[in-house]
Amino acid sequence: MTNNAQPEEGKRSLNFIEQFVEEDLANGKNDGRIHTRFPPEPNGYLHIGHAKAICLDFGIAERYNGKCNLRFDDTNPSKEEVEYIDSIKADIHWLGFDWEDREFYASDYFGKLYDFATELIKRGLAYIDDQPASLISEQKGTPNKPGIESPYRNRSVEESLDLFRRMNEGEFEEGSRVLRAKVDMTSSNMHKRDPIIYRIMKCAHHRTGDTWKVYPMYDFAHGQSDYFEGVTHSLCTLEFEVHRPLYDWFIDQLKEGDYRPRQIEFNRLNLTYTVMSKRKLLQLVQTGQVLGWDDPRMPSLSGLRRRGYTPASIRNFVDMIGYTKYEAMNDVGLLEFAVREDLNKTATRVMGVLRPLKLILTNYPEGQEEQLETVNNPEDENAGTRLLPFGRELYIEQDDFMEDAPKKFFRLSPGNEVRLKSAYIIKCEDFVKDPKTGEITEVHCTYDPLTKSGSGESRKVKGTLHWVSAKHAIDAEVRLYDRLFVDEEPDGHKDKDFTEFLNPESLERLSNCKLEPSLANAKVEDRFQFTRLGYFCLDSKDSKPGNLVFNRTVPLKDSWGKGNR
Ligand code: ATP
Ligand code: MG
């Protein structure tokens, strides 16, 4: 775990990236202009790792009166889909950020990049290599052993120009030729050993259609796109640190004045008990291990949203873990802490019974009902109160009753007293048991009318239970989630595939839940705390009026894996 410090709001000290930015501002770099970008590849949905990059890119722009572009790095037409572009935009907006009119695509620069590649050939700084990619890779050498120069390295400028043009006209097969930058086959940086910068792909692009038959490699597009957009600070994850000398080399060939983007790398967000790569998440979706990108068990932003996470809780979590220069694992418990902390302030307290057991108050007059006042949110004075219907027949949780209770069982058992929340003290007098199955089917209690909540009359009882009135309860399905994987780092095993660690019990669907009637009017954006059970919200996809489905966002306490789901 990197950093569990929880800074007080607004009092956080500058992170190292903000320090660099302030240094640049103090030195008058770029005329005081601050311009960042968030550059997703549209080959999957965004996950919470991306949220860390988004908060930084847009956050720096906000803090220093700058701008942040959204740029889709769409250089690989074979893996990209419009569905992903739409979802990425929706997720960024949901997190609370906006790129205004600056929605760009690396494909906007295909023309400029092609011209730049041509210019490199003309200057003797790039050449067409006719060898297959596998051989090129073998000739690269190792960090301790210099690479071998390609036999095509010194072919004439005219020949390379001609071949590059014909590659783009579709004359050659995919994989038959590539364009390589002529940098240095002996460089200690492997990325500078004549990297491939263009390849043939006979594949329609979602934006440029069939215009191009050659496509730039990511490394040839990324840094230059930042340059074309006037980006001052290119913030990216640590794995790009070793690419930086190559990006700098390209910009050296391209730039005219003093301006160049400054790349600063930071550590990735990695969460325990999940995987974070889009490729692996896509695999889970495609093999049906989860029910889509927005499955509430996924670490995708759409999954977390459907699960009930709030944008504020994700932003706060990103703030808590901070930005460093070394990779680490972040404890998912801290993310759950952040969502509880946020929901505690805003969620309406309600009552719902997940596994109902009938409770009859034998001394409560038949046919009588009353409305009991209850507080909507003790954390928020302005949240007010509402009325709960109460009557002779109620539901409580099955596991709130025990026939032979151990001493420390502070719930209901024969002869015992408990309080029903916002109602009365009751005493268990009897119970009914199915003679065949041994299942408890009814609990019979008496209530003490003098102990109504708020009346001032009370006595000490050890437990308080939640309940709903049987006559007024509404039916609902409730979905409980456990971790998607049983291992802390499912993709951290050399000899085992991450899918071997999938948790077969990550989803539990309870279809016979009884909820207080006010929940019939719940809206997707509403957040609830079900007393004693956790935070819940409507499932945005499957819930319908009259057929309600609730998701548990998170239990009240950190009780994962303790049989307390
Ligand atoms: P993945 O490995 O999950 O496929 P990626 O890095 O290929 O992710 P991109 O779409 O290229 O995904 O990422 C867009 C931006 O988000 C990049 O700047 C990248 O550095 C950043 N990013 C991706 N994953 C994380 C993460 N786990 N933590 C922080 N930033 C991330
Ligand atoms: Mg990537």
Q: From ligand 1's centre to the CA of 122, what distance in Å? A: 35
- Confidence at 564, pLDDT banded by 50, 70, 90: very low
Q: In this structure, are 179 and 52 located in the same domain?
A: no
Residues 6+ apart with CB under 8 A from 127: 121, 150, 152, 153, 154, 155, 160, 179, 180, 182
Query: Is residue 450 one of the residues assigned to a domain?
Result: yes
Residue 368 lies in a domain: yes
The one-letter amino acid at 208 = T
Residue whose CA is at the smallest distance from ligand 1 atom 22: 50
Query: Are 89 and 122 in the same domain?
Result: no
Q: Where does residue 299 fall: left (phi above 0), alpha (psi -120 to 50 degrees), or beta otherwise?
A: alpha
At 558 the pLDDT is 66
Question: Rounded distance, CA 333 to CA 355, Å?
Answer: 26
Q: 206 with 231, same domain?
A: no
Instruction: Please tell me the residue having the least CA distance from ligand 1 atom 26.
Output: 49
| Burial 253-286, CB ≥16 within 10 A → b, else e | ebeeeeebbbbbbbbebbbbbbbbebebbeebbe
Ligand 1 residue neighbourhood (C-beta within 6 Å): 39-41, 49-50, 52-53, 236-237, 268-269, 276-279
The average confidence (pLDDT) of the chain is 95
Judgement on whether residues 20 and 165 belong to the same structural domain of the protein: no
Q: How much is the pLDDT for 71? A: 98
Pocket test for ligand 1, best of 50, 57, 298 (most atoms within 8 A of CB): 50
Same domain, yes or no: 12 and 138:
no
pLDDT for 559 equals 54
Q: What are 70-119's pLDDT values in tens digits?
A: 999 999 988 778 899 999 999 999 999 999 999 999 999 999 999 999 99
Render pLDDT for 204-232 as a digit per residue (tens, 0 to 9).
999 999 999 999 999 999 999 999 999 99
Predicted confidence at residue 8, as pLDDT, reads: 52
CA distances from 217 to 37, 45, 198, 275 (A): 19, 22, 6, 26
Helices (H), 416-518: none
Hey, which residues are catalytic here? 41, 268, 278
Token pair in block for residue 208: 């440029």
Confidence of residue 565 (pLDDT cuts 50, 70, 90): very low
- CATH number of the domain where residue 401 is located: 2.40.240.10
Separation of CA 41 and ligand 2 centre (Å):
6
Question: What pLDDT shows up at residue 5?
Answer: 46
Are 212 and 222 contained in the same domain?
no
pLDDT category at 38 given cuts 50, 70, 90 is very high
Range of the domain at 8: 1-101+218-269+308-344
pLDDT tens string 141-200: 999 999 999 999 999 999 999 999 999 999 999 999 999 999 999 999 999 999 999 999
Question: pLDDT of 364-415, one tens digit each?
Answer: 999 999 999 999 999 999 999 999 999 999 999 999 999 999 999 999 999 9
Q: What is the model's pLDDT at position 456?
A: 85
pLDDT tier at 457 (50, 70, 90 boundaries)? Answer: confident
Residue 99: both structure tokens together: 């790129």
For residue 542, the 8-state DSSP code is: T
Domains in the chain: how many in total?
A: 3
Distance of CA 275 to the CA centre of its chain: 11
Q: Tokens at residue 565, please?
A: 């789901």
Percent of the chain topping pLDDT 70: 97
Predicted local confidence at residue 78, as pLDDT: 83
